Amino acid sequence: MPLITIGFSQDINVSVQVGDLAWYVPTNVQGVQGNQYNTNDIDNILLIGPITSITGNTLTIDQPVGQAPPATTDFIMFSKDNRANISGVLGYYARVKLVNDSKDKIELFAVGSEVFESSK
């Protein structure tokens, strides 16, 4: 696949990482006005390809052969691979001990946890 380079006049979002997918929306389609996009028309969101390099305000993207690159006026966005960016506690069990060393009366507002079945 050919590599394309897209430069931006503003800073790139700090969450963008190598491996994220770059997408674009042509700004000349119905539903796109300035920075607002009509999400009911999802057919206009087009894949550019995986991001292979980030240098300053420039993205290098591995674009599939035969696909038209975005125009300079198109809206560029990115998505993350949800398999690689899952956050949370991993393990088989957790043990928690809460201790109040204060002599004053205090109230515990909330305690929470995340639990999911990983396999059967």
Q: What is the pLDDT of residues 31-45, one digit of tens each?
A: 555 555 555 556 778
- pLDDT for the residue 118: 61
Residue 47's Cβ-side half-sphere holds a number of Cα atoms within 13 Å equal to 12
Look at the pTM and tell me if it is higher than 0.75. Answer: no
Tokens (6 digits) for 4: 């394309």
Tell which wins on pLDDT, 83 or 101. 101
Q: Please give the residue that has the higher pLDDT: either 85 or 81.
A: 81
99-116: b (≥16 Cβ within 10 Å) or e: eeeeeeeeeeeeeeeeee
Contact 5, 60 (CB under 8 A): yes
